[in-house]
Structure 1
Amino acid sequence: MNTDKLLEKDIVSHDELIEGIFVEYKKADKIKYTSAFLSSLSSDHLSFRSGLPVFAILQSFPKHKFKLVKNQKPSRISPCDFCSSYEQIELDTELVEESFEEIGGLTGFDLLDYFYYLKKTNELKSIKPKKEDYKIFLEILEILENANNKDTVKKELQKKISKIKGFKSDSEQRQALLETLGYCSILETEEHKGLLNQYTNLAIAPTKTHSSDWNYPVDWWLGKDGINKKAFKFWFGDYPELEKYCI
């Protein structure tokens, strides 16, 4: 499948996008994605950070055909039972591109988001993290590890992260980064797991409160849940600089 041609269409089917996603996923390299993520921390290249959340979600995302929700009548806006996307999808990438370039993470869970993020990250040149990148990431992890039992990532912890020297970010970018650690299963709870080993349809995943604008599962995370070091080792075990959190 030539995935370049997918983006030339005005409308694409659910099943075509699924095929395109898995073509790009097959090309994806974990080291490239994690190195790009790390390399974004001391730079202004937020696009380097954007691929990892989708790569994490694809660890358990099912390859599937469009399937109606049980007892759902077919219509133009009938969602897929597996992923909640429509059967026919308009290819408007303006907002997707903006999120990829300026937020450094996911702002939606549409198939178009997944496809675009994977394709664009695969097109990036491989990059090695710098000393400053490791330093920033270790400081983020230390803040999370030392959180009080009832701390959430939404207020105090995010405020502390915002003060890390050399880490330029706004609240939306920090939220996207912390949500990425959730998708990676690094920040999860006993009941609300990340995507490393089990699939959750993030489009309809439960939120902690009706008003919460944080995504699953980090929306449920508290300081007492800590860092899942087994998941951390899966993602970042190839970096000696981060071995402290792989034990």
Structure 2
Amino acid sequence: MTNNYSVTPPQQDVSEETANPTNENQPFEERLEHALSDDNMHRALERFAPSWLASRKDVFAIEEDDYGSDYSFAHMRSTLRQAKDYAIEHQPELIARFKAQAEAAGAIIYEARTAEDANRYIYELCQRKGIDLVVKSKTMVSEETELNYYLEARGIKAVETDLGEWVAQLAHERPSHMVMPIIHKTRQQVGEVLAESLGRQRGERADRRKRHRDDAHQRGEWPPGDIAATGARRHGRL
């Protein structure tokens, strides 16, 4: 598909280690052994699993009581699975429909064939516009392509605005779940990460989420960016 933007490799020679500072450069066996011996991770997941199941059960029980069996967990899971299967089976025509409607609305579509291609396109877009800050909101594709590391290794800062994603970024970690990115961390660990980043003493209660967000804005961590990146499920595009 044609577009107005040329894509050429950047001049910098950036090593993989520089581009991705997380422990994912370590062999899988080492990361597995580390995870299995991580007591904090065990505690976090042991607390999360039963509470999440109980919360899900309560929420769907209310929905089913109010709206009928079509809103039961089992029925909605089946409905979503059918929708997913349909999307996979009809992928070419659905992509074509999306592209046609998006372009009709004024969007510019770029089809990246590889992770490197996608990252390079975004990087060059930032270069052309003179942009050195990308503000992000939960885009899983950019996690797969390692966009943050690619941009930062080339002098462009990427800042996560989802609280969980931001904590993972501050800790130099990858999100462990697409919806709950830091379920592997205890509350104490999250407090330590935020306290270190924001220069506060861990243990202050108050409204932590609002306070940390306000502090971040005051410190210029989340200024309005000239480019924003968001995932498809957030009804937006780069």
TM-score scaled to structure 1, two decimals? 0.25
TM value normalised by structure 2: 0.25
Q: Indicate the structure (1 or 2) with the bigger Cα radius of gyration.
A: 2
